[in-house]
């Protein structure tokens, strides 16, 4: 896989596929981590004299323009972080994009509007996707893939464009792959994997693969209740995927057979309803042991004993991968479990990798510095699929 150091970019139009899919509150960016992660590659290309054309998706528009998914606020923030103006095209491959990219000078940067405003970006029809890739590739002379959060998608800007232009991986892609190899190839042990989030079905593949690689699995979040149900416990109205109980039962058996320690929460914060206000001190809940969840309650966070247990089993780790919060962290009263995991990793000497998505947003929103961890991935889904052992289309497209 070539990197940007292998390219001659001076005076050339370089299309950079970044991942600028940041959370927005109206037009306010609530976590600019992905933008900051994209800056080094964009800046390096600009400094080398490239005419940099950045493209990205944001959210899930329906293949047509939708103002609430516009990348305009991102262009402003990107310019602030780069310390240079970023021209913004009001379309993706139309008149505005063509005019702005043609007018770029050496070292200048432009951002195209949301790729997913064009149905061809995500189309499953090869011809439709290819036609959009043709128009996108026509804007540039060189392609750089640097949006790790999208490389597991067979999308036009990720998979088809590199077949049409000289191409290379950006610095972010190179770093992400290097980090993930540390989790799959030459792993320092003990190797602990912490998985949370809402649905166990989202993590089945990674659990299946990591049962052969990890020394210890810690399960929290909404997915824990399916494991508890598989062990015969009452989970009340907690999130449950009954259809996954046979699979989870098999994972419990395999973990025991392989000597992999699989830890589940031993207590929870439970309530009859969500609080109406995310501010601290507004929720009404009780703390119960895992075998005493009332039938009319649902678990919303792991309890204090679980937090202490999980932290203790992270203390001796040499390598940790964490993906998924321990509770409904968006509500301050139910963020304690997620904060406990983050604090344990921040205080640990382990090489810790936070697998993007909600986990990355949570640690930043809870006030932790990125430097407290070994690596915060920009791609939750891509990280998980890599750890499952899947071939990622966007990485395969960069191999020569």
Decide if 381 is catalytic.
yes
Task: List the one residue out of 188, 138, 199, 182 whose CA is nearest residue 325.
Answer: 199
Decide if 26 is catalytic.
no
- Is 83 annotated in a binding site? The answer is no
User: From the candidates 199, 237, 254, 305, which is the catalytic residue?
Assistant: 199
- Is 359 annotated in a binding site? The answer is yes
Task: List the one residue out of 218, 248, 214 whose CA is nearest residue 233.
Answer: 248
- Is 19 annotated in a binding site? The answer is yes
- Is 358 annotated in a binding site? The answer is yes
Q: What are phi and psi of 175, to 5 degrees?
A: -65, -45
Decide if 68 is catalytic.
no
171: its two tokens:
């610095």
User: From the candidates 34, 51, 129, 216, which is the catalytic residue?
Assistant: 34
- Is 153 annotated in a binding site? The answer is yes
User: From the candidates 149, 303, 381, 394, which is the catalytic residue?
Assistant: 381
- Is 316 annotated in a binding site? The answer is no
Residues in the chain, overall count: 400
**Is residue 61 within 8 Å of 115, Cβ to Cβ?**
no
User: From the candidates 120, 149, 355, 357, which is the catalytic residue?
Assistant: 357
- Is 298 annotated in a binding site? The answer is no
- Is 203 annotated in a binding site? The answer is yes
Decide if 324 is catalytic.
no
1: its two tokens:
């896989």
321: its two tokens:
């991968």
- Is 357 annotated in a binding site? The answer is yes
- Is 20 annotated in a binding site? The answer is yes
- Is 330 annotated in a binding site? The answer is yes
SS3 of the chain: the string is CCEHHHCCCCCCEEEEECCCCCCEECCEECCCHHHHHHHHHHHHHHHCCCEEEEECCCCCCCCCCCHHHCCHHHHHHHHHHHCCCEEECCCCCCHHHHHHHHCCCCCCEEECCCHHHCHHHCCCCHHHHHHHHHHHHCCCCEEEECCHHHCCCCCHHHHHHHHCCCEEECHHHHHHHHHHHHHHCCCCCCEEEEECCCCHHHHHHHHHHHCCCCCEEEECCCCHHHHHHHCCCCCCCCCCCHHHHHHHHHHHHHHHHHCCEEECCCEEEEECCCCCCCCCCCCCCEEEECCCCCCCCEEEEECHHHHHHHHHHHCCCCEEEEECCCCCCCCHHHCHHHHHHHHHHHCCCCEEEECCHHHHHHHHHCCCCHHHCCEECCCHHHHHHHHHCCCCHHHHCCCC
Q: Point out the annotated binding site.
A: 19-21, 34, 57-60, 116, 153, 203, 299, 330, 356-359
Binding site for ATP, by residue number, is 203, 299, 330, 356-359
Sequence ranges of the binding site for (2R)-3-phosphoglycerate: 34, 116, 153
Residues serving a catalytic function are 34, 199, 357, 381
Q: Annotated binding site for substrate: which residue ranges?
A: 19-21, 34, 57-60, 116, 153
């Amino acid at each position: 896989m070539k990197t940007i150091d292998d390219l001659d970019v001076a005076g050339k139009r370089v299309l950079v596929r970044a991942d600028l899919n940041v959370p927005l509150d109206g037009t306010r960016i609530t976590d600019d981590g992905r933008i900051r992660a994209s800056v080094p590659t964009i800046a390096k290309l600009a400094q080398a004299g490239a005419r940099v054309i950045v493209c990205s998706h944001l959210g899930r528009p329906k293949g047509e323009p939708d103002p609430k998914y516009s990348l305009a606020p991102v262009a402003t923030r990107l310019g602030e972080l780069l310390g240079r103006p970023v021209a913004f095209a009001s379309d993706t491959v139309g008149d505005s994009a063509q005019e702005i990219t043609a007018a770029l000078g050496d070292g200048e940067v432009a951002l195209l509007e949301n790729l997913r405003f064009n149905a061809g970006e995500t189309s499953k029809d090869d011809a439709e996707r290819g036609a959009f890739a043709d128009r996108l590739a026509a804007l540039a002379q060189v392609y750089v893939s640097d949006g790790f959060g999208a490389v597991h998608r067979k999308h036009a800007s990720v998979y088809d464009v590199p077949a049409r232009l000289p191409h290379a991986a950006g610095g972010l892609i190179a770093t992400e792959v290097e980090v993930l190899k540390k989790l799959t190839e030459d792993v320092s042990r003990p190797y602990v994997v912490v998985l949370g989030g809402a649905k166990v079905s989202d993590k089945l593949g990674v659990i299946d693969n990591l049962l052969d690689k990890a020394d210890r699995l810690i399960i929290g979040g909404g997915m824990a209740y399916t494991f508890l149900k598989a062990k015969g416990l009452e989970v009340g109205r907690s999130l449950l995927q009954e259809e996954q109980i046979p699979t989870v039962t098999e994972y419990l058996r395999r973990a025991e057979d392989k000597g992999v320690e699989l830890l589940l929460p031993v207590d929870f914060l439970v309530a009859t309803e969500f609080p109406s206000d995310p501010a601290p001190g507004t929720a009404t809940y009780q703390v119960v042991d895992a075998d005493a969840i009332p039938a009319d309650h649902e678990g919303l966070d792991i309890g204090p004993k679980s937090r202490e247990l999980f932290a203790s089993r992270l203390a001796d780790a040499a390598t940790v991968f964490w993906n998924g919060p321990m509770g409904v962290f968006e509500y301050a009263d139910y963020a304690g479990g997620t904060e406990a995991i983050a604090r344990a990793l921040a205080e640990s000497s382990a090489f810790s990798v936070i697998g993007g998505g909600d986990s990355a947003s949570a640690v930043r929103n809870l006030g932790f510095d990125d430097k407290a961890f070994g690596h915060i991935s920009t791609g939750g889904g891509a990280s998980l699929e890599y750890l499952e052992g899947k071939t990622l289309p966007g990485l395969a497209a960069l191999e020569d």
